[in-house]
Every structure is written in C-alpha cells, then in structure tokens.
Structure 1
C-alpha cells in the first residue's frame, strides 16, 4: 500500500492541480466575469477600447470558467407565464378561410355564392346560398383536412367539417387540439429561450410546468418588467392586403376584415383583410439597418415559401397598398411599385436605433405562437442574493471549522491529513462545477455543506480500521495497508447508495432540487477520490520520510 508507483503519484497530483486551477477563477469572480463578457462581446460585435481593456484584465492563458450563480444568489427576475393556447385555434381557422373560399369558388354553380359569417372563437362558419349543394361543399372542404402529426393523434384528421342549414362549420378535432397545444408549448419554450439568449443573459431557467405554463428565471436581470419586455412581446409580423384607410375608429371593417391603428400616424386606421399573405413565421433573418435617408430600419428575408408568396402577391397587385403589421399595429402601408422577387425587404418607421435593434432581435427569434398571461412575477434584488451568499459562506465556514476541529482532535496527525484532503475536495468540487458550467443555487450550497460533513466519513472508516489493525498487525505499515483494504468495500457501498439518491433527485426534481443533486453527486465523487488517493498519498509520503516504529491514530 505504501509503495505507490511514480506514475500513480504524478497522476494524483496532476488531477489535484488541474481541479484547483479550474476552481481558481472563482476567487476573482467579478474580474473574470468582466473578462468573459468582454470576450463574448468582442466576438459578437467587434472590439472597442473598453472591451479590450476588460478582456485584458484576466490573462487569456489562465482558465476562465466560472460557477454561474443562480437566481437566489445573484438576484434577477422570476416569471410564471400561462400560454393562451386557445388563441392558436382561432388563428388557425382564420387562416383557413382563403383555402375554403378558393376550393369552393369553382363549384359556384352547385353551391351558389360563398360568404364568410361571424364565427365564435374556435369555429369557421361559411354560408352558401344553395343549400342543395351542401353535400358537395362538405366533400370539398373535408378534402382540406390533413392527418394529425402526433403519436396520440395517429389515424385522425385535423379538421371536423359539418353542415348546419346553409352554413358549413369547420372546427379543429380534439386530436388536433391536443397536438396543437403540444406544438404551441414547445414553440413558446424555444422562442422564449432564443429571445433571452439573444440579449446575452447568463444561465436562465426556462422550463414547462403543467400543461400550459412556463417558468422563467433569469439571474442578473434588472427587474421582472424588463424580462417581460424581452419575452412578453408577441412580435407577430404579418403582411396583409389593405382594404381602405380611415380616421374613424368606429368604422365597421366587415366580415373577414379587421380595423387596426397606424403605429406612427395618430388617429389613422387601416381596414385590412384578416388573412395575411405572409407571416413572420416564414422569416429566416432580420437585422437592424438604416434606410436610404439614414434613419434606423429593419431588414428582413423570407424562406423560399414566403419569398414565393411575397413575390407572387406583389407581382399581381402593383399599385395597391400593402400593410406591414406588427402586433396589431400597422407599421407602414406602402404602395407596391413593382414586383419584389427574392423575398427580402426593409421595414421603415419612426424607430430609434435601440428600437430597431430590439425589433430585429424579436423577429429573428421568431414570433410567439400565442400570447402570455403572467400569473406570477418577482424581482429578487442583488442585496438579497448577497445575503444568501453570505449565509452560505457562514454555513460552510462553520461546517469546516467543526469538521476540521473534530478530525484533528480525534485522529491527530492523520486527522490533519484528512483535513488537507477535505480542502482539496472542496476545491475540486468548484473546479468541476466551473468545468461543466453548472449553476450554483442556495440548495447547491446546502449540497456542498453536506458534502463537507460527509467527506471525512470515508477517512473515519479507514482510520478506525487502522486502529483495529494496530492491535494485531505486525507493524504500522501493515496496519495502514489492511486499514485501507478492509474499509474500501464499506466506503464504496455507502457512497454508491448516496449517489443513486443524487441521481434520482436530479432526474425527478426541478431546478433547486437538481442544483442540490449536482453538488451532492460531484461531492461524493471528489470525496471518494480524496479519501482513497489523496490522503493515502499524503500518509505514504510522510511514512517514507519518518519511518516511525509506532503510530497513533
């Protein structure tokens, strides 16, 4: 046992040095964080003297990974949002009207005239003037149905079409509603994540809760209101035909149309066709720019499908106004001067540079498929986060002092070896957390405090076993060897059961529980390594140097 090969010694010390080096940036947290932010900003937007100075504040050849601080330690914003999934049904059926109209038009001799009727939410009602052609009309409209694209809806169609007198009633099937709800939630999660990532926030928590709610926690952001401004804007961009322009807010738009205000012209309203020609979902890119007069603007580009529809419409409607609508406000309504091929264009308006940049971010991240109702919002100030950090430091410090004192009092010199390994153990935990970019929360600190208490458990088992072997073994070297050999199985068994518990907590738990599970699991791995290898190496080096005839544990 005491004859440890040179390569093993070098490997143990190398792992310890690498782990402590990875943990060291956390001792200079603010300085390293400024360096990392400056490097990221330079890569994204180019260098400035301020960014270069901040980047130079930490040597580039040193590790720069940090343990990210969670919401309860850093402060930030907490939101619980409910996705209005039912709104998607209405939008889906509104967009279906042009298809129903186009498929029935060639059969006017059979079904008569076709009129869109006022419809309750979740329904599309179309009246035909010849009820005798209802069977043919239903057959044609049912041809628009498509199979539901989900495992639970396999074999079902997305539309239910029925006749009521002289009206065709189209609704979404239950299977399609369920699939739509799932798609809407997944899209909302992804778009919220993209919007938050676009503004460079650090380690946000974005997760689904229940069937239609999303939990959003973003450390380091100023307030819940600021977070709502980032994610709460629907950013629904549409391009819609203009029916008329008016200054009367009480104008009746008519069936199939809507009345929307102009964003930059007070008292001006536009009557638009509800069914858009192209939507923001078909955008592939959006960037802040400037128009020919040097005013802030936003450029955009469509995907092939959107480019084709945009090009076809502009070619067929030269001389007609065409509204660009953002979140139910008309940004502008230019007259189509010529065919616009290629699917790219520019949005102009009374923007500031900041507004054009924010709009480009929202459009690039994509439009939320449905609106959000914020059920709960909290702003956690950095002072409260600092209080949590201070409390965590105090708890960890008390645990350290108590454990170090107990080990020294109980096991003397061997207890000091265990204490050195304990300090190395905590450093390795922070090194691993920095390496994987984990987020440390208050429960995570509790996991570290628990690890401090548990870390010496393996050493206690080994030292007690050495005490027993000293009574029967031939000498101290043999007693130490047998102590490590016979304690190993108990150490492995105890820590395997604990790490299984940590894995279950991580898989089944939510954010705070997962934070506790991560630090607990990493602490188990490092504590076993330091107890079996680091303390053994320290004892071996001491024994080789002193060659004691007797030892006291």
Structure 2
C-alpha cells in the first residue's frame, strides 16, 4: 500500500495535540490586578486606613471586586488593570497618611491553577505594545566622563611641567574640552609636546603644535564617537544586568542614539522601584586617608569632618572602584550587623594586594558615590554633581587579596541594595531618566483585539473558500490549521525568552496563510494526478510526494530570510522574524504530515471511486 496506516504515528500526533492544548491553556487565565497597602508602623491605624480607602473608592465611583484587611497589609482586588491604575492614583492623592506609615504598590497576581504551575506551564510573554508596562528614556552624561579625561590630561601636563622645571605663560580654554597652552620658548614647548605624545594612551585626545610657542589640546571627533559607543555598550550591559536580576522578563534595553537608551518593562507596575533601580548610580570607591592634618595642595584631597569635628583629608585618587568588582553579596557579621562581601577581578585584586602590602598601618576609607542632578543649576538641566558619603574607615592590618567585606551600612535593606548594584556592574557614565511613562494595557488590549479580529476574519474567509472549493480535503486543511495555531501558542508559552509583539501577530497571520497555501499546492497536485487517470491512492501519494520538494524549497528560503531579519533587523523586525520562523516549522509539519496522516486514516484500505476534492 502506498498510503500506509501506522498506529504509532497517530498516537504520537494525539499526544502532541494533548500536549499543545495543555500548554496553551495558561493563556485563558488572566492576571489578577491588585493594590497592596503595607503598614510600616506599629501604630494601630489599620482599620481606620481600611475604612478611609473604602470611602475614597466609593466617592470616586471606582469599582473593585474585594478588599481584604490583614494584620500587616490591605489587598484590594480589581476586575481590570484600568480600574486598578485609576484607583492607585486616587488613593495616593487622597489618602492623607505619611509615607513613613504605609507603602502603596500595584501588582499583578497569577490566577493559574496549581497543577499548571506544577508542570511549568505559563502564558505567552507579551511585549510592551500588547501588555502595557513602563517605558524609560535614559540620557547618558558623556560630558562627565570627558571632563574626567580632561582633568586627568591637565594633571599629566602639570606633572611633566614640574619634572622638566618648565613654566608656561598662560592656558587658554576655547570650549569645554579643547584648550591651548603657551610657553616662553620653542624648546620648552617641544619638550612638553613630545613627552605628552609619548605618554598619551588616550586616543580621544590629540596634541598639535601651534604658533606663539603653543600646544593645542583637542578631542578627536572620530575617536570620540567610538568612545561614546563603547560607553553606551557598557551602560547597556549594566542596565540589562540590573533588569535581569530584578526578575523582569521580556524587557527591551537598547540604544536610541549615542546619548540615549530606551528601556521597556512589560507588565511591570511598581514604577518607583523600577525607577530607583535603573536610575541609581551608586558605586563604591576606596581611598587612602592622608596621615598628616596638613596638606600642600587642597585640590588633591576631599575634606571631611568626623562627629567630633576632627578633619580628615581623603586622597581624591581612588585605589579601586566599582569597575573592579565582579560580584557582591550581603549577610550579617558576628555582631549581627549588615555587611557587604566584595569580590574583585584580577586587575583590582593585584592593585589592592600591592597597595595594602605597602600601606600596612595606614587608614583606608570606603566611599559610597552617587551622581545626582544639580537642581541648583537651573541654566543647565543636565548638570550632574557627585555626592559622597563615608561608609567606614578602617586601618590596614594585613595584605588584602580578591575578597573582603565592608561594614558601616545603616541596615540590611541598604546592604541588599548596594550588593545588587555592585553585582550588576558600575555604570561607565552617569545616567539620567529624562522620560518616563506607564503605558496602560488599554492600548495593548486594543492591539490584541484588532490582531485577533484580523486573524479570525482571515481564517473565516479561508475556511469558507477551502471547504467550498476542496470539500473534505478543505476540511482536513482547516483541522491542520487549528492544530498549527495550537502548536504556535504552546511553543510561545513553553520556550523561555520568546515574547509576542504586534509584529509577531503579523508573523503568525503570515504563516497561517503560508500553511493554507501549502495545502492548496498539495490539493491541486492531487487533482492533476487524478486527471492523469491514476488510481486514487497513487494520486494522493504522488500529490504529496511531488509537492514536498517545492514546499521545502520555498519555506527554506523564507527561513533564511527570517534568520537575516533576526540578525540585522530592528526590534520590530526581529519579533516578526521569530514568530515567522516558528510558524513556518509548524506549518510544514501540520500542512504536509498531519494532513497526510488524516487522509491516510480516512482513505487507506478503502476502495475509492471518486475523491471529494
């Protein structure tokens, strides 16, 4: 027999179908939107706050399903996210309770049954355009880094001038980063120039001899763009690490231009927490404390006053900083105090090892450094200032290698936050959130409804055409189409890291059309074979066999195109490419092999005079 009936194949298909249905089921369960109010103070205000919230919600005609009062918190359940977000704004604005007493957050709780959770079944991850969430636009302060490079360059010039006993007449700044220095004679100028050229390991800075015994120091624009790209990539990696560590999936962290980064957090509702984590520039620096109370050059030191008003002078040049830290954890020490455990890279380990060996008996200070917006500088909105806080001061008693601990933190919450930021890496330059918005799910829901409507209308038209034109073989093609949809949904639900966006829905619609087109090719080929006066069983067999190479050729070319789109395309194109790739694989399987199995089930071992096609 040409069209064999193999029971094992049918059992496999039935099992695959059951598997697809089970792993598609989570998509019918909606997340439950809630508002959670936690009590941070021991004062007995719980019942009063609960009643006040009920009154506020009723007064503003905000509908909620249930409200629960527990010992430490209140939970209010809503029917949809729009009601939840509206209620959140109203409660925040109208509940006259100090933030020290309560903490109000919005959450989405899964409504999946436990048996689905047990088998790791989960709904499809939706992108920001479908699910809603938080959008941030971050600005990188490249000027701050360039300023540090300029300061380092000026220090190099001063050292060379002092070593060579050369004095320069004047220095002339003609913009923020470019300037000129002039000397008494050519000999002095040339000595400094060649020493600078020899010592310069920073390709961003260029030196040029100019008239009047001068040297022009300026930035190389071509190398500057490369440098900005390098800073951008490092910052993106750090921000991506932060996003990954807080457990947010399906995120977008990408470059907009040389100075801006876009971050999208689908499904995230805790706006303030996300903002604090992504915009936080905290890092650690370790500095040597000057032994003497008298210093020659105050510009080389930070001056701090201890509680007893004793001044200490901290060398501005750091020994190591956050860029040398590869990991950080927190715990409590033997005195039940919070401590952060620091793990250094090879470079940092070598530096701190040599330094501590040389400076046993000296004092070292741990500084918590933040870069914050300078609110006093109204003219320059992008102005950033460096804020420093002393965490602890310790005497170097022994040589330190790649691991050590720091204490002096206020509480475990601060220790946890600092360990998290250090673990994710140090930002190469300060960042500032310049645009922030919560994208409501109403836009996403509208997109989903429109996308599903388009799919349903398209499928309905195809069903009518296939059934009317190809009869039973048309019905078989439609059955395969629905199995195809189930497989695509289960793939997206099961495979980690896959996110469905609006462009992805377009890809699904395209693959459904490809699937039906495949069946049309097969059916037309079967008709041709029947017209050649072949037996029905032979016509079916050769109809599938002769069409298969053409189907594979077309789909392999499409798969290659989707791979190119995935590698080189924009984010939207990548979403389209992924869904199209998955859809093509499932389409070949359902349109060719499953329909063939169904046809064999219906027609094998039977005498057929006329085929319903």
Q: Same fold (TM over 0.5)?
A: yes
Instruction: Please say if residues 391 and 409 of structure 2, whose CA atoms lie closer than 8 Å, have aligned partners that are also in contact.
Output: no
Residues 306-325 of structure 1: pairs in structure 2 closer than 5 A: 306-310=348-352, 313=355, 315-316=358-359, 318=361, 320=363, 322=365, 324-325=367-368
Following superposition, the deviation at residue 535 of structure 1 comes to 0.8
CA contact (8 A) 1:297 1:356 kept: yes
Give the Cα separation in 1 of the matches to 2:560 and 2:460: 29
Structure (1/2) with the larger helix percentage: 1
Alignment of 1:100-249 (within 5 A): 107=163, 110-111=165-166, 121-122=176-177, 133-146=188-201, 157=203, 159-161=205-207, 173-174=220-221, 176-222=223-269, 225-241=272-288
What's the CA shift for 1:527? 1.7
Per-residue CA deviations over 1:452-497 (Å, capped at 9, x if unaligned) read 3342222223223434444442432233234335544654565456
Give the CA deviation at 1:410: 2.9
**Displacement of 1:543:** 0.6
Supply the distance in 1 between the matched residues of 2:333 and 2:29 (Cα, whole angstroms): 40
The whole-number CA distance in structure 1 between the counterparts of 2:431 and 2:397 is 37
Alignment of 1:266-281 (within 5 A): 272-281=314-323
Task: Confirm whether residue 337 of structure 1 aligns to residue 419 of structure 2.
Answer: no
How many Å separate the matches in 2 of 1:223 and 1:60?
Answer: 24
Determine if contact 2:197/2:207 at 8 Å carries over to the other structure.
Answer: yes
Q: Distance in 2 between matches of 1:17 and 1:69?
A: 27
Distance 1:13 1:407, change over 3 A: farther
Cα distance change of structure 1 residues 296 and 127 upon mapping to structure 2, 3 Å threshold:
farther
The answer to whether the Cα contact below 8 Å between 1:206 and 1:217 also exists between their aligned partners in 2 is yes
Is 1:74 the counterpart of 2:120? The answer is: no
Residue aligned with 1:111, SS: coil
Which of 398, 417, 421 matches 1:358?
417
Q: Equivalent residue for 1:302? A: 344
Q: Distance in 1 between the 2:533 and 2:420 partners? A: 73
Alignment of 1:507-522 (within 5 A): 507-522=567-582
Kept after mapping to 2: 8 A contact 1:203/1:218: yes
- Using a 3 Å threshold, how does the CA distance of structure 1 residues 211 and 57 change in structure 2: closer, same or farther? same
Secondary structure, counterpart of 1:90 in structure 2: helix
Distance 1:202 1:524 in 2: 25
Which position in structure 1 is the counterpart of 2:327? 285
- What is residue 43 of structure 1 aligned with on the other side? none
Q: Alignment partner for residue 537 of structure 1, among 597, 606, 609?
A: 597
Residue 527 of structure 1 is aligned with which of 583, 587, 592?
587
Query: Matches of 2:113 and 2:239 in 1, distance apart?
Result: 33
Distance 1:528 1:308, change over 3 A: closer
Distance 1:140 1:432, change over 3 A: same
Residue 46 (structure 1) aligns with: none
- What's the offset of the Cα at 1:10? 4.0
Distance 1:511 1:103, change over 3 A: same
CA change 1:141–1:346 in 2 (3 A) is: same
CA drift at 1:307: 3.9
Alignment of 1:438-457 (within 5 A): 438-457=498-517
Report which of the two has the higher share of strand: 2
- Equivalent-residue separation in structure 2 for 1:202 and 1:379 (angstroms): 17
Does structure 2 retain, via aligned residues, the 8 Å contact 1:70–1:440?
A: yes
After TM superposition, the structure 1 stretch with the greater mean CA deviation from structure 2, 331-340 or 418-427, is: 331-340
1:394-442, CA deviations, whole angstroms, 9 ceiling, x for partnerless residues?
4444444443343233332222211221112112223443336421112
SS in structure 2 opposite 1:142? helix
Please give the alpha-carbon distance, in whole angstroms, between the structure 2 residues aligned to 1:551 and 1:270: 97
Q: Which runs of 5+ in 2 are unaligned?
A: 33-110, 371-385
Distance in 1 between residues matched to 2:21 and 2:435, nearest whole Å: 36
Counterpart selection for 2:537 from 471, 477, 480: 477
Q: Return 5+ residue gaps in structure 1 as ranges.
A: 35-53, 149-156, 247-252
RMSD over aligned Cα atoms: 4.5
Matches of 1:378 and 1:342 in 2, distance apart?
46
1:89 aligns with 2:146: yes
Partner of 2:264, secondary structure, is strand
- What is the aligned length? 512
Relative to the length of structure 1, the TM-score reads: 0.76
> Residue 269 of structure 2 aligns to a residue in which SS?
coil
SS in 2 for 1:143: helix
| 3-state SS of 1:188 partner | helix
For 1:467 and 1:333, how far apart are their aligned partners in 2?
82
Q: Distance in 2 between matches of 1:453 and 1:55?
A: 32
Structure 1 distance, partners of 2:315, 2:173, is: 14
Task: Give the Cα separation in 2 of the matches to 1:236 and 1:55.
Answer: 40
Residues 98 and 302 from structure 1, CA distance in 2 versus in 1: closer, same or farther, beyond 3 angstroms? farther
